[in-house]
């Protein structure tokens, strides 16, 4: 007897999210390196942890596919966007996290409409993670509005108080 597999259409949707999670992993790794290089040591540690978190998301999605007898497709990941400062990192992170939120929401609706409630339920964890990430980066953006983002002393103080 051959074990059941996920439909290819569902596996393809999950593979797309795996790629997104690797993009996020590399972005946060680059952000961590940038922050450490310029002296934002708290932010560097925070983004290093974010990088590891994104990697664990990619691994969780891959495990789900393997558990359903599907081979994950690891696509080539483009180099992360160049960052120019801590404010730039936070703005790009918010945009990336919001796009991931929308992507998980979209595929969840598609999978729900395909009557695959097991995969839909599995993705709830990722929808919640994205909702929390969007809220966290939204808070960072709101706090950035309270300072002069062009003043390095204010940005350094922001980093010290928020990471």
In a domain, 143, yes or no: yes
In a domain, 1, yes or no: no
In a domain, 87, yes or no: yes
Instruction: Answer for the pair 119, 65: CB distance below 8 angstroms, yes or no.
Output: no
| Unique residue bearing structure tokens 């999978």 | 111
Q: What is the mean pLDDT of residues 40-68?
A: 97
Specify the number of domains making up the chain: 1
Q: What is the mean pLDDT of residues 103-111?
A: 97
Q: What is the mean pLDDT of residues 94-121?
A: 97
Encode pLDDT of 61-101 as tens digits: 999 999 999 999 988 887 777 899 999 999 999 999 999 99
Q: According to the model, what pLDDT value does residue 54 have?
A: 97
Instruction: Answer for the pair 51, 25: CB distance below 8 angstroms, yes or no.
Output: yes
User: pTM of the prediction?
Assistant: 0.92
Mean of all residue pLDDT scores within the chain: 95
CATH number at residue 150: 1.20.1260.10
Distance CA 161, CA 143 (A): 10
User: Could you tell me which of 95, 75, 73 has the C-alpha nearest to residue 83?
Assistant: 95
In a domain, 2, yes or no: no
Tokens of 134: 């969007």
Q: According to the model, what pLDDT value does residue 156 have?
A: 87
Tokens of 47: 């983004």
In a domain, 12, yes or no: yes
Encode pLDDT of 7-19 as tens digits: 999 999 999 999 9
Range of the structural domain that residue 35 is part of: 8-162
């Amino acid at each position: 007897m051959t074990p059941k597999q996920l439909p290819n259409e569902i596996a393809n949707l999950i593979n797309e999210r795996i790629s997104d999670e690797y993009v996020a992993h590399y972005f946060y790794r680059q952000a961590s390196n940038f922050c450490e290089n310029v002296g934002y040591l708290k932010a560097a540690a925070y983004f290093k942890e974010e990088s590891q978190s994104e990697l664990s998301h990619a691994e969780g999605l891959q495990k789900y596919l393997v558990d359903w007898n599907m081979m994950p497709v690891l696509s080539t990941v483009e180099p992360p966007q160049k960052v120019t400062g801590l404010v730039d990192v936070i703005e790009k992170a918010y945009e990336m996290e919001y796009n991931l939120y929308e992507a998980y929401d979209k595929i969840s609706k598609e999978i729900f409409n395909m009557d695959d409630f097991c995969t839909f339920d599995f993705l709830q964890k990722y929808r919640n993670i994205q909702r929390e990430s969007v809220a966290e980066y939204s808070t960072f953006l709101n706090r950035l509005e309270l300072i002069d983002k062009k003043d390095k002393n204010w940005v350094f103080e922001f980093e010290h108080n928020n990471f």
